[in-house]
Amino acid sequence: MQNSIQAIIASIVLIFFVGCGEKSTKKETEENAKTTTEKKDSLVSNPKNTPEKKEEAFRLNEENAIDFFFNYADTLKQNKVKITTNMGSFTVQLYDNVPYHKANFIYLTRKGYFNDTQFHRVVKDFIIQGGNSDDKKTANKRGKIGRYLLPPDGKKGYRHHRGTISMPSSERDNPHKLASPYEFFIVVTRPGSYHLDGNYTPFGRVIEGMDVVDAINNVPVGDGDWPYQNVWIEKAEAL
């Protein structure tokens, strides 16, 4: 009799623990399922394998260029740019009171725009013009920097003396003589090319290496005043 009672008690205990085990397993399974669902929901809303969106690169345009260069000019301490070509180097000093053109030239220099461009137009005893190239790399650099023009600023009393660096007008429909910001020309005429005054913006002058400018002006050219042998701007650096 006693053995029967002990067997019944053992059976009850076994049933109790089995039941608890099933409940515990069921509860753990439900919790695991819940955790898995939460992870899936998290992956849907914040997928780890999806790269974060990068901020759109800043580009200059007709609307923001003037404000940008106005503020950029206030940060500048440099007022000289050294241009190294495959024919030698020369240095230009930029005028402080022609702020947009000065700021633009230093900005493009710092961005590395002028590196690997060319003096693509050479007019004997008149000018050398640089900042362009016939390769796709230059066009791509312009695209990344932006599409904009600069207003003329020829009322500061500067004239197109020999050695003056100035900015040509854009070839786009341009009744107001807005300047093409990616190019520049240097006057080699003695004593100057004063018929350019009022139509273009002088923004600096060559202070060292004018002999290199003259040498570039003497290279043979073909149609469109483009040199037969490319005259490369290897590097431009703000000083």
Higher local confidence (pLDDT), 10 or 182: 182
Whether the pLDDT of residue 118 is over 80: the answer is: yes
Dist. CA 145–CA 154, nearest whole Å: 25
What is the share, in percent, of the chain residues with pLDDT greater than 90? 64
Tell me, what's the pLDDT at 144? 95
Whether the pLDDT of residue 166 is over 70: the answer is: yes
Higher local confidence (pLDDT), 33 or 179: 179
Task: Return the CATH number of 65-238, one of 3.40.640.10, 2.40.30.10, 3.40.50.720, 2.40.100.10.
Answer: 2.40.100.10
Domain ranges of the chain: 1-54, 65-238
Dist. CA 155–CA 172, nearest whole Å: 23
Tell me, what's the pLDDT at 173? 61
Tell me, what's the pLDDT at 2? 47
Q: Which residues pair with 97 in a beta bridge?
A: none
Tell me, what's the pLDDT at 13? 44
Whether the pLDDT of residue 15 is over 50: the answer is: no
**Per-position b or e across 224-239, b if 16+ CB within 10 A of its CB:** eebbeeebbbeebbbe
Estimate the crossing angle of helix 99-110 against helix 65-73, to 10 degrees.
90
Higher local confidence (pLDDT), 7 or 57: 57
State the pLDDT confidence band at 84, using cuts at 50, 70 and 90.
very high
Query: 193: which residues sit within 8 A by CB, 6+ positions away?
Result: 126, 127, 160, 187
- pLDDT tens by residue, 136-160: 999 999 999 999 999 888 788 999 9
- The structure's pTM equals 0.76
Tell me, what's the pLDDT at 40? 47
Q: What is the largest CA-CA distance in the chain?
A: 133
Q: Which residues pair with 88 in a beta bridge?
A: 85, 86
Whether the pLDDT of residue 17 is over 60: the answer is: no
Whether the pLDDT of residue 176 is over 70: the answer is: no
Tell me, what's the pLDDT at 119? 97
Average pLDDT over residues 60-76: 93
State the pLDDT confidence band at 93, using cuts at 50, 70 and 90.
very high
SS3 for 208? strand
* E strand or H helix that includes residue 6: helix 2-45
Mean per-residue pLDDT of the chain = 83
